[in-house]
Structure 1
Amino acid sequence: MVDGTALRLLIVGDSSAAGVGASHQDEALAGQLARLLATRLGQPVGWQLLARSGYRSEQALAALQAADLVPADVLITALGVNDVVDQVAPQRAIAALDCIHALATSRAGVRLAVHCGAPPMQTFPLLPQPLRWFFGRQAARFNAALAKAMTGRAHRRVVLLPEAMQRNAAALMAEDGFHPGPRGYALWAETLADQIEAGLR
């Protein structure tokens, strides 16, 4: 986290938020998003990252409750994949996201939240069929419930992965066939930056 910045981000999530699939944070979501926003704003952007592989939404909430939070303007959540894999009901996962948002607002001063939907798991090369198809259906179900829950909430937005990532996911993924690679993270960062700028405007 950098003090005295134009914008401060709090990123909470699973392995994708943690940057698995990239060799370092400069190539991962947090680093690319902060750099992109800093270029657009012409000022430094700070960020605090709270993410770990395997986190379901409820586990991310527990980690956030135990963490020392620094002030932040924007909350970004990248959760849902592990909720889908572990068959957590969408409503239960969304309830945890509600608590994450409330906590980030009260303790860090967040004024905008951007919730990333689950990725198109039906395109993940690592997953065999019919598991790939099944998880894809469950991910779509999670995203529909998330979009419905956030309807009408002016300071909370839902962002799905860019169309390019959904069309050509395999080519933009890391070698593990499950996480984005640097090019995938770059496209994701661009979509998030657009939504953050629009939401703050």
Structure 2
Amino acid sequence: MALLRAAFLSPVIVPQLVWVRLRASRLPEAAGPREGQTGAGRALRVLVIGDSTAAGVGVETQAEALAGQLSSDLARDHSVTWKLVARSGAIVPDLLEMLAGVEGSFDCALICQGVNDAKNGRLQPNFEREYASLLRTLSDRFGVRTIVCSGLPPMQFFTLLPRPLRDVLGARAARFDRAIAGLADAHPGAQFLPMNFTDDVSLMASDGFHPGPRIYAMWAERAAEMMRAG
């Protein structure tokens, strides 16, 4: 941990972090509705929460983004009522704050969170405590029975990131990824979804940091499978 803090304070890493934050924020969140109803069949209420990936940065519309593709996949055999709560740059405390204004109950939830917490240098014990609180909020307040916890992508392959920042963040993201897996395993109804379905960086968005539509589609397909399985 001391070595990690030293790395983040180095005269090389800090300027690189600032440069990445400025460049990664250029792409807008996907346009379009953030809630809706689609499909026919057994009713299923779905909540998608998270950071810029949940918000659909990297594609133009919510139909191409994670929430839109997830609801479309589930609509093949369900009447899906879905809601998206997401913001670029969000960390876990931001999600808890945003959820305070959400009403209703949900059957399933998809969490897309952790990259900002990792790359912003937040302490892992704090992240784990807050993520556990997020899981409890979904279960206790919203009645969610199936929670899909998305892992973190292999940031060491992100083309946006220069070295040595790419290697530092890759190692840090891997630790946060393992933490999410452990938290999901310990929470009733939660499942861990590893981000290992592709290593093709050509499928990423033009900024080299966010997913493109094909990655969102694969992500949504995996999440839908887990929600169906319960």
Aligned-residue identity in percent: 40
The residue number in structure 2 matching 1:27 is: 64
The residue number in structure 2 matching 1:106 is: 140
Contact 2:149 2:193 (C-alpha < 8 Å) held by counterparts: yes
Paired residue secondary structure (1:100): helix
* CA distance in structure 1 between the partners assigned to 2:44 and 2:131 by the alignment: 22
Paired residue secondary structure (1:115): strand
CA deviations over 1:110-148 (Å, ceiling 9, x no partner): 111111111111111111011111111001000112222
The residue number in structure 1 matching 2:93 is: 58
Q: 1:188 and 2:228 equivalent? A: no
The residue number in structure 2 matching 1:140 is: 174
Paired residue secondary structure (2:170): helix
Contact 1:162 1:191 (C-alpha < 8 Å) held by counterparts: no
Paired residue secondary structure (1:10): strand
The residue number in structure 2 matching 1:45 is: 80
CA deviations over 1:141-169 (Å, ceiling 9, x no partner): 001122223334341111111332xx21x
Q: 2:196 aligns with which of 158, 162, 171?
A: 162
Q: Where in structure 2 are there 5+ consecutive unaligned residues?
A: 1-35
The residue number in structure 1 matching 2:185 is: 151
CA deviations over 1:9-49 (Å, ceiling 9, x no partner): 1111000000001100000000001101111x2x3212111
Q: 1:13 and 2:50 equivalent? A: yes
CA deviations over 1:69-124 (Å, ceiling 9, x no partner): 22210121100000011111223222222222222223322111111111111111
Paired residue secondary structure (2:191): strand
* CA distance in structure 1 between the partners assigned to 2:139 and 2:184 by the alignment: 16
Paired residue secondary structure (2:208): coil
The residue number in structure 1 matching 2:29 is: none
* CA distance in structure 2 between the partners assigned to 1:36 and 1:179 by the alignment: 21
**Cα RMSD after superposing both structures:** 1.7
Q: Where in structure 1 are there 5+ consecutive unaligned residues?
A: none
* CA distance in structure 2 between the partners assigned to 1:68 and 1:154 by the alignment: 22
With normalisation by structure 2, the TM-score equals 0.79
Contact 1:174 1:181 (C-alpha < 8 Å) held by counterparts: yes
* CA distance in structure 2 between the partners assigned to 1:133 and 1:98 by the alignment: 27
The residue number in structure 2 matching 1:177 is: 208
The residue number in structure 1 matching 2:131 is: 97
Paired residue secondary structure (1:44): strand
Aligned length: 193
With normalisation by structure 1, the TM-score equals 0.89
Please state which structure has a larger fraction of its residues in helix.
1
* CA distance in structure 2 between the partners assigned to 1:86 and 1:128 by the alignment: 16
Contact 1:9 1:75 (C-alpha < 8 Å) held by counterparts: yes
Structure with greater Cα Rg: 2
